[in-house]
Amino acid sequence: MTTFKNFIGGQWVAPASGEHFDDINPADTRDIVGRFPKSGAADVQAAVESAKRGFDLWRRTPAPARGDVLRRVGEILVARKDELGDLMTREMGKPVAETKGDVQEGIDTAFYAATEGRRLFGHTVPSELRNKWAMSFRRPIGVAGLITPFNFPLAIPTWKMFPALVCGNAVIFKPGEDVPHAGTVLVEALLEAGLPPEVIQLVHGDGAAGKAIVDHPDVPLISFTGSTETGSKVGETCGRMHKRLSLEMGGKNAQTVLDDADLDLALEGVLWGAFGTTGQRCTATSRLILQAGIHDEFLDMLEKRAATLVLGDGRKKGTDVGPLIHAESVAKVERYVEIGTKEGATLRLGGKRATGGALDHGFFFQPTIFSGVKAGMRIEQEEIFGPVLSVIKVKDAAEAFRVNNGVKYGLSSSVYTRNVNVAFQALQELDNGITYINAPTIGAEAHLPFGGVKATGNGHREGGWEVYEFYSETKVGYVDYSGALQRAQIDNY
Ligand code: UN1
């Protein structure tokens, strides 16, 4: 079995502790992908020292040249897409069509970032005074600590890393401990593309490694995607230390289907939204809000189709739904099935581990549907991160919007309707960072801002232009070429 290393100080190195953890295939726990470093504060210290040297070099590299490196990374990812899709499915389980889509998001992000190196716009504006120039421009910040989850092993790291790099920062990257192999390949691609070695540091490990990065005084920039609970702790530390922080956390996203909707279309949407990635997306559909007129008919259609979804190894042709990521996830989903049942919801489908044959070796869970769910129940309020869908009946669009908004999270929402007025009302009324009309709650594109309101985030966005503002600081320059002391707000008025 291969023992993998960290990348620190321009070299592949073993962790200071000498300890490792196993990277396990969740579809077949007998298959160990490799052993990866269990890193701690000593490794992070070495990574920060090196990254500071990397930053000094990189911040002076012209932004278009920084972008060129990202363009080459994009080309490498294109060439390695199939191989990457396969190894990502092996370590985290979702079907290869999805992992290849994940790689494609990384490719799109790379090419967007490459061209952004030729923009990084500031503003030139007129001065109040004669013979004086006024402008704003963007400066890099320093060492960025990036902490990412397992569910998008490539896309999410690239959303953070590529803009951070184009803006001229150095990066310390801690991939999710369930997907260290994908993280390693991404760093290999960056080095192959010509990124100066000390600009990137790869530190594997669990929460202890992540905490050491967040706690380090010389890492002024943190971007974290994960649970709201961990995000709150990260936020406390960053607040105390005056760090710039971007948080992407939980969701409890709803798809609403109104009486006038195209039901076949809405059915495809909810199947993909609720059970794609085994429900392990922060954008997953975990609530389905049905208007009374179509409630029974749609639930029937859904139950029938969901029962035919094929569970299995994501690397096998014909698999619709892969496994959950690990045993604790299975236990968590089981707990929520018990909670839903106790709360009085009706279990319509699933509710158990999926077993039999090859499934016995993995963390498979049956697609699960609860109907009769009332607003306010725990299964309606709390993020489950598994293939569990709660169905709520409402009388009209106004009630659907109230239910949609009645949770602490605010990532994405979806409304199926043919009524253009209602569609635009939804865009205006729903408290989410993203609202889809006649499309599921998942499917964000790389060149638009991604993120949520309320407990989902802290006001920042990934993707699109806005993320470049996060990874750079605005600086203003005034040049007075009058040869005289001109006093703003005094001499001019
Ligand atoms: C996430 O679930 O953490 O819109 C990110 C989507 C994907 C990204 C999801 N493009 O579902």
What is the 442 CA–ligand 1 centroid distance (Å)? 6
- Give the Cα separation of 110 and 154 in Å (integer): 11
Instruction: Tell me which of 92, 151, 152, 275 to substitute to probe ligand 1's pocket, judged by most ligand atoms within 8 Å of the beta carbon.
Output: 152
Residue 412 in contact with ligand 1 by CB distance below 6 A: no
Report how many helices (DSSP H) and strands (DSSP E) the chain contains, helices first. 15, 21
Instruction: Tell me which of 450, 456, 462, 467 to substitute to probe ligand 1's pocket, judged by most ligand atoms within 8 Å of the beta carbon.
Output: 450
Task: Give the ranges where 175-323 is alpha helix by DSSP (H).
Answer: 180-192, 207-215, 228-241, 263-275, 292-306
What is the 444 CA–ligand 1 centroid distance (Å)? 6
Q: Give residue 416's pLDDT.
A: 99
Fold of 6-249+457-477: Aldehyde Dehydrogenase; Chain A, domain 1 (3.40.605)
pLDDT tens digits, 264-318: 999 999 999 999 999 999 999 999 999 999 999 999 999 999 999 999 999 999 9
Residue 368 in contact with ligand 1 by CB distance below 6 A: no
- Give the Cα separation of 173 and 461 in Å (integer): 19
Q: Which residues is 365 bridged to in the sheet?
A: 353
Catalytic amino acids? 248, 282
The encoded tokens of residue 354 equal 């999926």
| Residue ranges per structural domain of the chain | 6-249+457-477, 253-437
Contact 166, 70 (CB under 8 A): yes
- Give the Cα separation of 186 and 26 in Å (integer): 21
CA proximity to 179, closest of 277, 263, 46, 248: 277
- Give the Cα separation of 455 and 326 in Å (integer): 25
Instruction: Tell me which of 282, 384, 385, 447 to substitute to probe ligand 1's pocket, judged by most ligand atoms within 8 Å of the beta carbon.
Output: 282
Q: Give residue 279's pLDDT.
A: 98
Phi–psi pair at 261, nearest 5 degrees? -75, 160
Tell me the helix, strand and coil percentages in the chain, rounded to 5: 40, 20, 35
In the block, residue with structure tokens 């998008």: 152
- Give the Cα separation of 457 and 350 in Å (integer): 32
Class of domain 253-437: alpha beta
- Beta strands 412-416 and 253-257, pairing class: parallel
Q: Give residue 422's pLDDT.
A: 98
- Beta strands 221-225 and 434-437, pairing class: unpaired
pLDDT tens digits, 131-181: 999 999 999 999 999 999 999 999 999 999 999 999 999 999 999 999 999
Task: Specify the ligand 1 atom closest to the Cα of 281.
Answer: 2
User: Can you list the residues of the chain whose pLDDT is less than 70?
Assistant: none
Q: Give residue 491's pLDDT.
A: 80
